[in-house]
Amino acid sequence: MPDASTSTVAPAPAAGRSAAAAQRLRVGQFLLASVLMGAHVVFVISIGTWTEVPAVPLWSWAAVTVATYVAFYVALRSGWSERLRDPSMTQHQVVASLVFAGVSYLFLGPVRGLLPGAMLVVVCFGMFKLRVRTVLGVALLGWLVLAAAVGLHLALAPPPVDPTLDLAHLFAAFVMFMAVGLLAGRLSRIRARLTAQREQLNEALARIEALAHRDALTGLFNRRFADEVLLQAVQRQRRQPHPPLCVAIVDLDHFKRVNDRHGHAVGDAVLCAFAKVGLATLRNTDTLARWGGEEFLLILQASDLMAAELALERLRTAVAAQPLALDGGDTLPYAFSAGLTAWRPGDALAHLLERADRALYQAKAEGRNRVVTL
């Protein structure tokens, strides 16, 4: 439905729905990551219990991991995370997951070679949202945590110690993390290009919408848009006749004489000057549109005839007080005549416009530069 206002105001309900949808998306993504991390915790506890890893460090690691993810969930669900630059806390989650996964190397015994692949999945989660430098940074942090866990594992292992397999795990993790970092760079460039294209498309759509709804010369709404606004207003009056609706057809006086004496460029300037004064004088809830040539349509919603007459008189006074400035320091005064009417029960759109048009012709016949009400 078109907006009948002459100003553009972002609709709060739509913004609220958008924010709620973004919040649901953030929570949904977190829950998916939590399921994967929960599966990892269960797997590590199972392996650690099977290989008789000391229970205290194993269960302490599991408890801290679960508590951290619960804290993430509370921050997301409560809306506290919206205070942060990244409300989804992607970087925080990736860092925490890499640290906890790296430490779990100590508890995985003979299957610890699977861990670099699991950590790679965590890095992949971040590369779609984080910048390249950030992805490389968190990947390096995860690798350092893994290296520390490998070193601690080798230090605690009973002799004889063969570090070959552990160092191979560490090397494989480094290669995979760096490869993901390079891939993140490629994705970042693609994402930036898509973002730029989306912005260009939005700008093009905004220009198309402006061309569809606005008069190219004055910047006012055009006749097509005014027809839609007026039709909706009349339909609304039929359902609920209060508050009242008034309509005025405004015609600039002796406009042909302006064109003949000063040229069409000055005539165009007069049209633009009137539009500027009208937008500055009328309410935001009023709709001023170029109806055709030097005629304008004014839709005054929630205005009775008395209030509408006062609005048009204010506009007439403002126009008289602001003549058009010409080259050389001269000014060109101009005025308008207006036919005003109010919607009456049973009125069709054509009846309303016909009555306003008759009032306009009466204003011209009575000497112009006046408002006539029918």
How many angstroms separate the CA atoms of 338 and 237, rounded? Answer: 23
Answer yes or no: pTM beyond 0.85. no
* Mean pLDDT over each residue of the chain, to the nearest integer: 84
Closest CA to 91 of 148, 139, 40: 139
- The Cα diameter of the chain in Å comes to 114
Tokens of 228: 């839609």
Mean pLDDT in residue range 63-74:
92
Mean pLDDT in residue range 327-338:
87
Q: What is the DSSP letter of 355?
A: H
- Flag whether pLDDT at 113 surpasses 60: yes
Active-site residue, selected from the candidate residues 203, 294, 313, 366: 294
Confidence of residue 120 (pLDDT cuts 50, 70, 90): confident
Phi, psi (5° rounding) for residue 77? -70, -35
- Flag whether pLDDT at 296 surpasses 90: yes
- Flag whether pLDDT at 293 surpasses 90: no
Most confident of 126-135, 270-279, 344-353: 270-279
pLDDT at 11: 40
- Spatial contact of 312 and 298, defined as CB atoms under 8 Å apart: yes
- Flag whether pLDDT at 167 surpasses 50: yes
- Flag whether pLDDT at 1 surpasses 60: no
Instruction: Walk me through the domains of the chain, giving residue ranges and CATH numbers.
Output: 12-206 (no CATH), 223-373 (3.30.70.270)
Mean pLDDT in residue range 293-303:
89
pLDDT at 71: 92
- Flag whether pLDDT at 16 surpasses 60: no
What is the CB-side half-sphere exposure of residue 271 using CA atoms within 13 A? 23
- Spatial contact of 284 and 6, defined as CB atoms under 8 Å apart: yes
Confidence of residue 241 (pLDDT cuts 50, 70, 90): confident
Phi, psi (5° rounding) for residue 221? -60, 150
Who wins on pLDDT, 273 or 186? 273
Q: What sign does the dihedral 360-363-368-371 (CA atoms) show?
A: negative
Closest CA to 6 of 214, 245, 302: 214
Q: Give the Cβ contact number of residue 171 at 10 Å.
A: 11
- Flag whether pLDDT at 297 surpasses 70: yes
pLDDT at 338: 92
- Flag whether pLDDT at 184 surpasses 80: no
Q: Which residues pair with 332 in a beta bridge?
A: 324
pLDDT at 3: 44
Out of 58-62, 65-69, 163-167, 358-362, pick the least confident: 163-167
**What is the three-class DSSP state of 290?**
strand
- Flag whether pLDDT at 42 surpasses 90: yes
Tokens of 144: 């350092």
pLDDT at 118: 83
Confidence of residue 4 (pLDDT cuts 50, 70, 90): very low
- Flag whether pLDDT at 13 surpasses 80: no
pLDDT at 15: 52
Mean pLDDT in residue range 190-199:
82
The radius of gyration of the chain's CA atoms, rounded to the nearest angstrom, is: 35
> Is position 294 annotated as part of the catalytic site?
yes
- Flag whether pLDDT at 194 surpasses 90: no
- Spatial contact of 217 and 271, defined as CB atoms under 8 Å apart: yes
Q: In what order do the strands lie in the sheet with 336-342?
A: 287-292, 295-301, 245-252, 336-342, 371-373
How many angstroms separate the CA atoms of 85 and 131, rounded? Answer: 13
Mean pLDDT in residue range 173-193:
78
pLDDT at 252: 93
